[in-house]
Amino acid sequence: MADFSTHLIGATAAGSLAATVVAKVLGLPADHSLLLIGSCIVGGVLPDIDLQRSTPSRILFTVFGVASAIAWVFARVDDYSALALWSTGLVIFIGIRWPLSWVFGTLTVHRGATHSLLACAATLLAVAAVSYQLTGADALLAWLVGLFTAIGYLVHLLLDELWSVDFAGVKIKRSFGTALKPVDTRRWAGSVVLLVIAFASSLYLPPTTPIRTAAGTVIAALLAGEPGVILP
């Protein structure tokens, strides 16, 4: 498998290139572009949360806990006192960092259900739904954050497969085919959980019109080879 820094570099490269194109065509503000690159990087290390007690897993649950707590606090800043906000944020962080991380570590097998296209799709839907419903992001931004997380996720799966090929000896290692699979059919429990997440998220998705319009604009600009978008 590709190591942690390879995944970070791959996701950062893909995320920043995609964010530059999208920001140029859609005229996104700088803070939104940075958020998209950040989402892509998180997506790029996300599949390895199945590595128990690993650096990626610990960092991920810490970052995920902090980000969720901060997002909740700022989404509800007008509704509660500072102390109530802070203590609820702390509970959210602790709940994600330890119990959720433990549940994950116990239930998952490395390169199992999280290394599949189903997991990538479930991540897209879940991130879009959570961003839209819980953080107050508008529909377009919520979809973009979900999409960029999914781009990072996909880059991770591709890198894991690439690293299964031993280029020096042109051999294929046994791990080939274990990352970029549609669904994990060997352990159905994990795949069922992902299906439930995808289905539940699909009930809370933002409206699709803004992202469809935006996707049309970006694709048209790319196909037309509009000067200044990719090439000078």
| Interface ranges with Zn ion (CB under 5 A) | 47-48, 160
Alpha carbon separation from 95 to 6, 49, 72, 89, 92 (Å, rounded): 29, 16, 14, 10, 5
Q: What φ, ψ does residue 157 adopt, rounded to 5°?
A: -65, -40
Instruction: Answer yes or no: are the C-beta atoms of 67 and 43 closer than 8 Å.
Output: no
Type of residue numbered 167: F
User: Nearest approach, Cβ of 10 to Zn ion (angstroms)?
Assistant: 11
User: Nearest approach, Cβ of 216 to Zn ion (angstroms)?
Assistant: 33
Pick the closer one to Zn ion by CB: 47 or 146. 47
User: Nearest approach, Cβ of 180 to Zn ion (angstroms)?
Assistant: 10
Instruction: Answer yes or no: are the C-beta atoms of 28 and 22 closer than 8 Å.
Output: yes
**What's the number of CA atoms in the CB half-sphere (13 Å) around residue 205?**
21
Pick the closer one to Zn ion by CB: 160 or 184. 160
The SS3 call for residue 171 is strand
Alpha carbon separation from 94 to 59, 64, 105, 181 (Å, rounded): 14, 11, 16, 33
Pick the closer one to Zn ion by CB: 47 or 206. 47
User: Nearest approach, Cβ of 152 to Zn ion (angstroms)?
Assistant: 12
Which residues pair with residue 181 across a beta bridge? Answer: 116
Pick the closer one to Zn ion by CB: 1 or 28. 1
Instruction: Answer yes or no: are the C-beta atoms of 65 and 72 closer than 8 Å.
Output: no
Pick the closer one to Zn ion by CB: 19 or 49. 49
User: Nearest approach, Cβ of 7 to Zn ion (angstroms)?
Assistant: 7
